[in-house]
Structure 1
């Protein structure tokens, strides 16, 4: 069962780190409003999932926590573990709520695809530790491969995966996915809510409502974040002035751009510029 639309599948890494957890360490029960993958690379640990009794987790185990799934880990005396934790958002699978995977339990059984997932995990750790040129792009590519192998493993485990969304909700999801795809590919252009709605034969009010329900923000605020994220990357890597960067991401007014940038990141664009550009 194909759950991914290659045009709109664009996961975003929130964090990626691989700590060693030492003996007698104990975390608090918690959950996220995004998706998290935790892979035990070396050693052993113990995890609580929701209200289940504690379970010993050994090296090679892969866990995937959907939003709202309570979990915590702790180390028994004399044990320690090396784990990879990846926080993700902007995950869209056909027929499922955004940022949700079709796993029934956090501890995954991936069958023949288990080895490939672990291989990608170690490659991600290597890229993270070395931080060579464009390592973040390599990480994203490796992550997409990992997610595909996880989906293949889940499909083998349960070939009768049923979408969580109703027909009406699936239609709404397609509208949201198309809108995100359009914003990510046309962010340099002049875009209004009215134009986005008109292109899909929708009312602006309806589009804004279902988009905010799915993403937590309006289409225009989503567009602003896309523009400012692109701008942040350009300020770090390109030999452009602030005015040139502002224009490149769709802002006509450099002052308005700087004000929006500082509001989102807490720092002015000039604070991002490499030293040689000051």
Structure 2
């Protein structure tokens, strides 16, 4: 693997928090801090904002936040939502500034569905040892954390990861910037110069859902944030996320969340 970074110091786990529907990550305003943060989605969905851009995450995703990167986080209200938040200090990789786990130009989202079981096991073991006060727990935690970070780096710098089809990445970027517009599969295929069938097949293999399903999920996640944190009407929110027909938006929202937009806002 070209340019694979080396650990120059032993990283230290400052905290690890289990996130679920009973103990969700509290919404934080945009902030920065010295530690590196790693978020792992075990199940369900979550939404995060980095540099004022909302990013929806799904099962198996890792969100890698470098030191002093401005971000805020809001856990999803998906009933199946589960995950972990790890805060790491003293991270120093060769070729990167202190506190950086990824180069600044790379996407902070690592699609790690292929390694979900392995990464999940590492993190659960870290959580258990970190909260274990028996002799040697600190040393075991440190060893497991180092192993986890190396596994993440392997995934990040592996041939398959570094060459993840630019098709899917370009489509996701386009959706994030244009979700409020009327987007079709043909339009998405045109921006990456492939036919719609090839795009649908490639995207589903890499992301796990079709491009149009991804578009809908992105819109619903943005709508959730607007419902919870703005005073916009449901009709205004529907229009802002690409659904001029508010009734159709209501049907889609209930299908994906189990709640109508109005009930969702009142409940959460």
TM-score of the pair, normalised by structure 2:
0.50
- The SS at the match of 1:125 is helix
Match of 1:82 in 2: 82
Unaligned residue ranges in structure 2 (runs of 5+):
164-268
Residue 165 of structure 1 is matched in structure 2 by none
Aligned CA RMSD, in angstroms, stands at 2.8
Residue matched to 1:147: 149
Contact 1:18 1:84 in 2 (8 A): yes
Whether the 8 Å CA contact 1:43–1:79 is kept in 2: the answer is yes
In structure 2, C-alpha distance between the alignment counterparts of 1:38 and 1:77, rounded to whole Å:
16
Residues 122, 144 of structure 2: 8 Å contact kept? yes
Distance 1:102 1:74, change over 3 A: closer
2:162 to 158, 162, 169: 158
Q: Secondary structure at the match of 2:38?
A: strand
Query: CA contact under 8 A between 1:11 and 1:144: conserved in structure 2?
Result: yes
Q: CA deviation at 1:84?
A: 1.6
Taking structure 1 as reference, are residues 26 and 91 closer, same or farther at Cα in structure 2, changes over 3 Å only?
A: closer
- Contact 1:20–1:83 at 8 Å: present in 2 too? yes
Q: Which whole-Å CA distance do the structure 1 matches of 2:99 and 2:113 have between them?
A: 23
Largest Rg, 1 or 2: 1
Please give the residue correspondences for 1:96-135 in structure 2 after superposition, counting only pairs within 5 Å: 96-103=96-103, 104-110=106-112, 112-135=114-137
After TM superposition, give the deviation of residue 153 of structure 1 in Å: 1.0
3-state SS in 1 of match to 2:123: helix
TM-aligned CA deviation for residue 113 of structure 1: 4.3
Q: Which residue of 1 aligns with 2:59?
A: 59
**Distance of aligned partners of 1:133 and 1:41 in 2 relative to their CA distance in 1, 3 Å threshold:** farther
**Helix, strand or coil at the partner of 1:95:** coil
What residue number does 2:13 align with?
A: 13
User: 1 CA distance for matches of 2:45 and 2:139?
Assistant: 31
Q: Displacement, 1:69?
A: 1.9
Q: How many angstroms does 1:35 deviate by?
A: 0.9
Residue 91 (str. 1) matches residue 95 (str. 2): no
Q: Deviations over 1:81-112 (max 9, x none)?
A: 33322211222211211121225122113475
Alignment of 1:165-180 (within 5 A): none
Instruction: Please list, as runs of the form range in 1=range in 2, the aligned pairs for 1:158-237 lying within 5 A after superposition.
Output: 158=162
Query: Hey, what's the Cα distance between the residues in 2 that align with 1:12 and 1:36?
Result: 12
Contact (CA 8 Å) 2:19, 2:25: kept in 1 or not? no
Instruction: Give the aligned partner of residue 68 of structure 2.
Output: 68
Aligned pairs for 1:41-60 (under 5 A) are 41-52=42-53, 54-60=54-60
Long gaps (5+) in structure 1: 160-278
* 1:102-135 superposed Cα distances (whole Å, 9 cap, x missing partner): 2512211347545422221121122234443322
Distance (Å, rounded) in 2 between the aligned partners of 1:93 and 1:24: 28
Count, aligned residues? 156
